[in-house]
Amino acid sequence: MQKKNDLYKKKYEIYNSLFTENSIDGILNIGENFLGNPIFILDTSYRIITRSNLAKLDNSSIETHNGESYLLLDIVQLMKKNKCIDNIYNSNNAFFHNSDEVLIFCSIRINNITVGYISVLQSKREFNAEDLELTNVLSKVFSIQLQKENLFISNSGLDEEYYLTDLLINRIDNIEYMTERLQYINFNLHKNLLILSIPFKQKYKDYRHNFGLTELIKKIKTILGNCISTYYKDTIIFLISNDHNDVINDSLKQILLEFLKLNNLRCGISIVFDNLLDIQDFFNQSIHALELSASMKKDNNINYFEDYIEYYLFNVSMHTTNDLYKINLLTLVHPWIKKLIKFDDKHKTDLFKTLKTYLENNRNANDTSIQLNIHRSTFFYRFNKIQSLLDISLGSNNNLFKLELSLKILDYNTLTSTTIVNSV
């Protein structure tokens, strides 16, 4: 009975530290008094937010970059290998972890989003079952204190929110003006753009008071690199820009996918584009990718609109009301086609014409060569050049279907408009 009362008193003291200490470090020291071992508080990028007095004496697992302390990369890799990171994200309670050393880990959650975690190192005394309960309480107290100390996102965050929301809501007619405005925030406008949208229901009317949401935005921005974000219609929206053809390359995709899985999130991604004037169409592409994948019961964390173009067209034809945002047809043209046209224009080549003729001739090399009045070897040179330039296989039925669909869109537009190539 006495032991139970002692545990209750310790828990009460930790909860009460929210009022008596009112700081992360103060609360941490109260926790260390009861746990009797070094305590580290880390965010999800393995940066050490703070550490207790005993923990400050141990630098064997820490490296410093730009004034910030992080776990050594070897330790991070070991934690991933033995599924420790997965356990932190998937468990709501503290747990023991045995490797070269014995530790306690416990996630710190805000609005069910893991924003950090507690690590307690067994070095001064051996752990007992009571330590898990105390760590659980410490996690809840840190969740509250973190929200108290981080009520608002930064000024630059607010600026970029207004910029991106303005781009999404208001029809833009002056690209020079918008480009000039974007120079005043920490965002570089490169040749390729992409919209990524993540559905997220926030619990507060003013999302700036939602620490879990703002932390989530910060983590994803760290992954994506050069981007700006906003929160609009229960959706976190990112405008990403760089010089990569895919914008989100394979290595970046893997990091993003891991983060989305760990936090049980989904995202929709638009086709790559290069004109801010079309941003509303591409934003809606990302939303349609999410909606179509859900209606088709595809349980994907990452959903590319380019994989749903034909289904979007089916959906438009079946939609009987006027509440569906209809995307400009030319924004549905695949980036591969756009890339070929731009390459031809710059290098005075005929790759686009060669591909179009090849597809129109039922993928027959001989017939294509005859129609283009070129030697077969010239055709195969162009054929391989197209594959190399686009980094795809023209033997893939899926790739060929995407290309043929884009050509159909361009053909249709030719019959109804006189500005085609310049538009793409």
Query: Could you tell me the CATH number of the domain that includes residue 144?
Result: 3.30.450.40
**Contact at 8 Å (CB) between 32 and 38?**
yes
Domain edge (last residue) among 288, 323, 358: 323
Render 364-375 in DSSP notation, one character per residue.
Answer: -HHHHHHHHT--
**Do 99 and 211 fall into the same domain?**
no
Boundary of a domain, candidates 149, 181, 210? 149
Over 50: is that where the pLDDT of 44 sits? yes
Q: Per-residue confidence at 174, pLDDT binned at 50, 70, 90?
A: low
Residue 207's pLDDT is 44
Q: Which pLDDT does position 419 carry in this prediction? A: 46
Q: Are residues 305 and 412 in the same domain?
A: no
Q: What percent of the chain has pLDDT over 70?
A: 87
**185: in domain:** yes
> Do 229 and 372 fall into the same domain?
no
Write out the two tokens for 258: 């891991």
Query: What is the predicted pLDDT for the residue at 62?
Result: 82
- Average pLDDT score over residue span 38-52: 85
pLDDT at 232: 84
Q: Quote the pLDDT of residue 160.
A: 65
Does 329 reside within a domain? Answer: no
Whether the per-residue pLDDT at 177 is higher than 70: the answer is: no
CATH number of the domain encompassing residue 270: 3.30.70.270
136 with 168, same domain? Answer: no
pLDDT at 153 over 50: no
Which pLDDT does position 84 carry in this prediction? Answer: 87
Burial 149-172 (b: 16+ CB within 10 A, else e): eeeebeeebebbbebbeebbeeeb
Does 371 or 170 have the greater pLDDT score? 371
Q: Are residues 97 and 160 in the same domain?
A: no
pLDDT band at 398 (very low <50, low <70, confident <90, very high): confident
Higher pLDDT, 130 or 211: 130
**pLDDT score of 96:** 92
Tokens of 240: 């990403």
What per-residue confidence (pLDDT) applies to 403? 92
Query: Is residue 328 included in any domain, yes or no?
Result: no
Going by pLDDT thresholds of 50, 70 and 90, the confidence category of residue 214 is confident
pLDDT at 113: 75
In a domain, 36, yes or no: yes
Residues 142 and 169 in one domain: no
- Residue 330 in domain: no
Q: Looking at residues 65-82, what average pLDDT do you find?
A: 74
Among residues 289, 323, 357, which one ends one of the domains?
Answer: 323
Q: Both 285 and 143 in a single domain? A: no
What value does the mean pLDDT take over residues 95-111?
Answer: 86
CB-based contacts of 35, cutoff 8 Å, min separation 6: 120, 131, 134, 135
Tell whether the model's pLDDT for residue 105 goes beyond 80.
Answer: yes
Distance CA 219, CA 151 (A): 17
In this predicted structure, the answer to whether residue 388 has a pLDDT above a threshold of 80 is yes
Instruction: Please state the rounded mean pLDDT for residues 29-57.
Output: 88
- Residue 207 or 265, more confident: 265
The pLDDT value given to residue 66: 53
Q: Which amino acid, 164?
A: L
Residues facing residue 129 across a β-bridge: none
State mean pLDDT over 269-293.
Answer: 93
Residues 197-204, mean pLDDT to the nearest whole number: 79
For residue 214, the enclosing domain spans 155-323
Instruction: Verify that 102 and 135 share a domain, yes or no.
Output: yes
171 confidence band (pLDDT: 50, 70, 90):
low
Number of domains within the chain: 3
Determine the 3-state secondary structure of 156 from DSSP. helix
- 51 vs 32: CA distance, rounded Å: 10
Domain-embedded: residue 391: yes
| Domain presence at residue 120 | yes
Average pLDDT of the chain to the nearest whole number: 84
Identify whether residues 125 and 165 lie together within a single domain: no
Residues 104 and 240 in one domain: no
Q: How confident is the model at residue 61 (pLDDT cuts 50, 70, 90)?
A: confident
pLDDT value at position 181?
A: 63
Q: Are 143 and 176 found together in one domain?
A: no
Residues 216 and 73 occupy one common structural domain: no
Determine the Cα–Cα distance for residues 47 and 70; give it in Å rounded to an integer. Answer: 4
Alpha carbon 347 to its chain centroid, in Å, reads: 35
